[in-house]
Amino acid sequence: MDSNAFQLHLATVPALDDILREGARRALQAAIEREVEEYVERNSRHLDEHGRHLVVRNGHHPARKIQSGNGPIEVRQPRVNDKRVDEQGNRFHFTSQILPPYLRKTKAIEELVPWLYLKGISTSDFPEALACLGHDGSGLSPTTVVRMKEIWQGEYENFSRRSLEGKRYVYLWADGIYFNIRLTDDRPCVLVLMGALEDGTKELIAMIDGERESAQSWLELLIDVKSRGLADAPMLATGDGALGFWKALRQVYPSTRHQRCWVHKTANVLNKLPRGQQASARNILHEIWMSATKEDAIKAMGKFEATYQAKYPKAAECLLKDKDELLAFYDFPAEHWQHLRTSNPIESTFSTVRLRTSKTKGAGSRTACLAMAFKLVESAQNHWRKLNGSTLLPAVVAGVIFKDGTKLAA
């Protein structure tokens, strides 16, 4: 072959980077296609009054470029038409956990490895998995992955022992999150405590392996954070009514007000009603916690009681027994209500972690599960936004009185 022919041959042979990039593109495209197929199949039982599926495929979004370790990869995200609505009447929206709308480059190795580990990828499969996502995984041996996990477990232990001196959390959110574990039959409950500082910044305060959300486990957690310097009682705490958290909170921070999560309460109340009654009941419940004043909310509660007490007393009792705790948010700034009415700050953060463990047995041990979940939350924390109306938080700490969300004149 002469030199001209050889140069022509080289020009027509795909570069190695192009081959790797095309392989990564195909792997990523196949993964997001499968993700959508599973989502549609998982929700295939949801039908409208005419028997038509509420969740269906609807073509593709325009192509988008993702920056990977081998250069840009162009993929087309499948479009999903989801006509379902939640308890508040809001439409459901499919969000890819593999390719979120905001993602424009593949995850860093530090974030990707715990994500894959919780997904159920074994240490020996990491190089291949990372290569498919556009990373050079050749130097990431099983030994290296094990060492990384040990480092992250050490970081979690340091986080759990850190000093909280000088911290002042105005609001708390508490919840118990369950995970699947490969090497045990039980499902550990991770107790999660988040808080909002005086400048409106949200932080993860503590995350421990609990005993099924028991009061004793929560008591140990709260005593621990108090002993590490969290001396000032938060003004309000939000959580599910079923938690042992409330009993423990009364012992450690007796002055902290209690706010029941409206998402949990709505689900609990609706579970005590026949399916045919749930839509109308949901509307009344939505009317309660979206009322502009506490007085209007109490009237809406009375409407619910009058409608369901006679025929469905358990549903009415479930709502009314926590009346004061459900309406505590009215005594705080209206700008903060959307943050205080639910435990969504925790739920939204951990929903992606739970989705990643739903298809497999998840992490291999309870210790590894905690460390990996901690690393994912640590990464997510960098993107948490401040509370609305954060300039009002010092007034809340100072004991300024608010009525129906408005500060009363001195």
Q: How far apart are CA 252 and CA 265, in angstroms?
A: 25
Report the distance separating Cα 222 and Cα 176, nearest Å: 14
For residue 36, pLDDT beyond 70: yes
Quote the percentage of the chain above a pLDDT of 70. 73
Contacts 24+ apart (CB under 8 A), 116-119: 117/145, 117/149, 117/363, 117/368, 117/372, 118/353, 118/356, 118/357, 118/362, 118/363, 118/369, 118/372, 118/373, 118/376, 119/356, 119/357, 119/359, 119/360
Q: What is the pLDDT of residue 357?
A: 44
From 73-77, 182-186, 279-283, the region with the lowest mean pLDDT: 182-186
Which of 208-212, 215-219, 347-351 is predicted least confidently?
347-351
Pairing verdict, β 71-75 and 64-68? antiparallel
Is there a contact between 50 and 160 (Cβ–Cβ < 8 Å)?
A: no
Q: Return the H-helix or E-strand segment holding 193.
A: strand 189-197
Query: Rounded CA gap, 58 and 31, in Å?
Result: 17
**Is the pLDDT confidence value at 118 over 60?**
no
Q: How many residues does the chain have?
A: 410
- What confidence score (pLDDT) does residue 361 get? 43
The predicted structure's pLDDT at residue 280: 94
Which residue has better confidence, 109 or 394?
394
Over residues 270-278, mean pLDDT: 94
Residue labelled with tokens 């009346």: 323
Tell me the pLDDT tens digit for each residue of 161-216. Answer: 999 999 999 999 998 877 654 434 455 678 889 999 999 999 999 998 876 668 89
pLDDT(254) > 90:
yes
User: Mean pLDDT throughout 301-307?
Assistant: 96
Query: Which range is most confident: 238-252, 290-304, 361-375?
Result: 290-304
Q: Distance (Å, rounded) from C-alpha 153 to C-alpha 84? A: 40
Residue 24 scores a pLDDT above 80: no
**265 — pLDDT class (breaks 50, 70, 90):** very high
- CA torsion sign for 293, 295, 296, 300 is positive
Range of lowest pLDDT (112-121, 144-153, 392-401): 112-121
| Residue reference for tokens 């739970």 | 354
Nearest alpha-carbon partner for 184 in 387, 396, 373, 368: 368
Are the C-beta atoms of residues 75 and 32 closer than 8 Å to each other? yes
Is pLDDT larger for residue 371 or for residue 81? 81
Residue 258 pLDDT grade (very low, low, confident, very high; cuts 50, 70, 90): very high
Element (H, E) at 80: strand 78-82
Helix H segments across 43-141?
A: 109-119, 126-132
What does the pLDDT average to over 84-97?
77
How far lies 360's CA from each of 125, 145, 182, 258, 364, in Å?
15, 19, 8, 36, 11
At 307-323, the pLDDT tens digits run 999 999 999 999 999 99
DSSP 334-384: GGGHHHHSS-HHHHHHHHHHHHHHSSS--BSSHHHHHHHHHHHHHHHHTTP
Q: Which pLDDT value is given to residue 298? A: 97
**SS3 state at 74:** strand
What pLDDT score does 410 carry?
Answer: 63
Would you state the pLDDT for residue 185? 47
The confidence score (pLDDT) of residue 318 equals 95
Quote the tokens at residue 362.
């998840």
Contact 151, 370 (CB under 8 A): no
Environment class of 406 (CB within 10 Å of its CB; exposed 0-12, middle 13-18, buried 19+): exposed
Residue 263 has pLDDT above 80, yes or no: yes
The 10s digit of each residue's pLDDT in 356-409 is 444 334 445 677 778 877 877 887 777 788 999 999 999 999 999 999 999 987
Q: Report the pLDDT value the prediction gives residue 6, as an integer from 0 to 100.
A: 46
Nearest-angstrom CA–CA distance, 303 and 387: 32
